[in-house]
Amino acid sequence: MQETIETPPVLQIPTNSKISYMDAIVQAQKEEMLRDERVVLIGEEIAIYGCGEVEETFGENRVRNTPISENSFTGMAIGAAMTGLRPIVDLTIASFVYLASDQIINQAGKLRFMTGGQLQVPVVFRASMYYNIGNAAQHSDRPYSLFMNSPGLKIIIPSTPADMKGLMKSAIRDDDPVLVFEDINLWTKKEPVSDDSDFLIPIGQAEVKRTGSDVTVITIGACLYKALVAARALEQEGISVEVIDPRTIVPLDKETIIKSVAKTGRVVIVDNAHRTGSVASEIAAVIAEQAFESLRKPIQRVTTPDVHIPACVAMERPLYPDKERITAAVKNIV
C-alpha cells in the first residue's frame, strides 16, 4: 500500500513592499484599526492630510473630523482614552501642539501618576513638522524638545518609512501617551517595508544606521539623510563615521549611544530643532555625564540657530543642518 504524504499548509510569509513615509503612516493606522476596534482617528481635515483612505475604510463612527479647536478635541481624545478607546489625534501642523499642550502635558502625561496607576491614557498625538517650505514662523517649528521636559510622555521621531510604520504601530498599542513627530520633508521618501501586520519596532530602541570607527554622528529625524551623505563623502577622505538614529527621544536609548562613543571618542549631534534646550543639548549632557572619559575631543552640535523661521525659502533653508555643516563639525574634531 502506497504511503499517503500529506501536503503541508502553505505559510503566508510577509513580504516587503516599497512604500512611502506617508503610506507607512496610513498603513500603520489602518492595520491597527482593523486589529482593534477601540482604535479611532480624530483630527482636523483628516482626508486632506493623507488619510482619506482611512476615512473611506472606517467611516465617521471611527474617523472624526473636528473643528479647528486643538485644545478641545485633544481633551476629548484623552477622555475617550481614559474610558476605553485608543485614539489617534492628528494635530496636523506640529506648531499646533502649543494650543493642545495643556491637555497633553497636564492631563495625558500626569493622570496615570496622579491616580496611582488606576487610569491609563493610551492616546497617540501625531504632529507633522511643516518646515523648509516657506511656511513662516507660526507654522514651521520643530517642537519635540519642549515635550522632553514633561514626564509621562513618550516621544518618537521616525526618519524612515520602516521606522515610521513599526514605531507608529507600537505607539498605538502602548498604554501611555505617545507623541509622534513626523517630518513632511520625508513624506514621499520610499523604501521596502514589511507587510506583516505585527511588524513592530520597540519604543526606546536606537539603531546604528551606518557603522564607523572615527566619529559618532547622532541624528534626529530627517537629519539622518544629510548625515549619511556627509559620512559617504568623509569616507572618501579616510574618515570613518558611525551614524546613530535614536528614533525615540523619550525614552532615550543611552546604552547604544554610550557604546558608540566608547568606540570612537568623538561625537557630532545633528538636530533640526533650535539650539538652546534641544535634544542635541540633552544627548550632549548625557555623554558628558556618562562617557566623559571616552571623549578625545569636545562634543559638537549642528543645529538650527535660535531665530524665528522666515517666510522666504531662500532665507529659511540655510538655517538647518546640511552636509557642509556636518562635514565641517566632523573635521573640527578629527
Q: Given a cut of 60, is residue 253 above it in pLDDT? A: yes
Split at pLDDT 50, 70, 90, the class of 54 is confident
pLDDT top residue among 6 and 152: 152
Question: What is the mean predicted confidence (pLDDT) over 191-220?
Answer: 97
What's domain 18-194's architecture? 3-Layer(aba) Sandwich (3.40)
> If you ran DSSP here, which 8-state letter would residue 4 be given?
P
Which residues fall within 8 angstroms of residue 243, CB to CB, at 6 or more apart? 208, 209, 210, 212, 217, 218, 219, 224, 227, 228, 231
> If you ran DSSP here, which 8-state letter would residue 197 be given?
T
Which residues fall within 8 angstroms of residue 195, CB to CB, at 6 or more apart? 14, 15, 16, 17
pLDDT of residue 49: 63
Are 264 and 231 spatial neighbours (Cβ–Cβ below 8 Å)?
no
Note the CATH number of domain 207-333: 3.40.50.920
DSSP string, 58-82: H-TTTEEE--S-HHHHHHHHHHHHH
Are 135 and 92 spatial neighbours (Cβ–Cβ below 8 Å)?
no
Choice among 62, 139, 165, 301 that is catalytic: 139
Q: What are the tens digits of pLDDT across the range 259-296?
A: 999 999 999 999 999 999 999 999 999 999 999 999 99
pLDDT of residue 55: 81
Split at pLDDT 50, 70, 90, the class of 13 is low
Q: How far is CA 101 from the centre of its chain?
A: 18
Closest CA to 152 of 190, 79, 103: 103
Q: Evaluate whether 18-194 and 207-333 have a shared fold.
A: yes
Query: What interhelical angle do 279-290 and 254-264 show, nearest 10?
Result: 60
Q: Where are the domains of the chain?
A: 18-194, 207-333
Cell matching residue 139: 507654522
Q: Given a cut of 90, is residue 53 above it in pLDDT? A: no
- Is 139 annotated as catalytic? yes
Q: What are the tens digits of pLDDT across the range 14-25?
A: 678 899 999 999
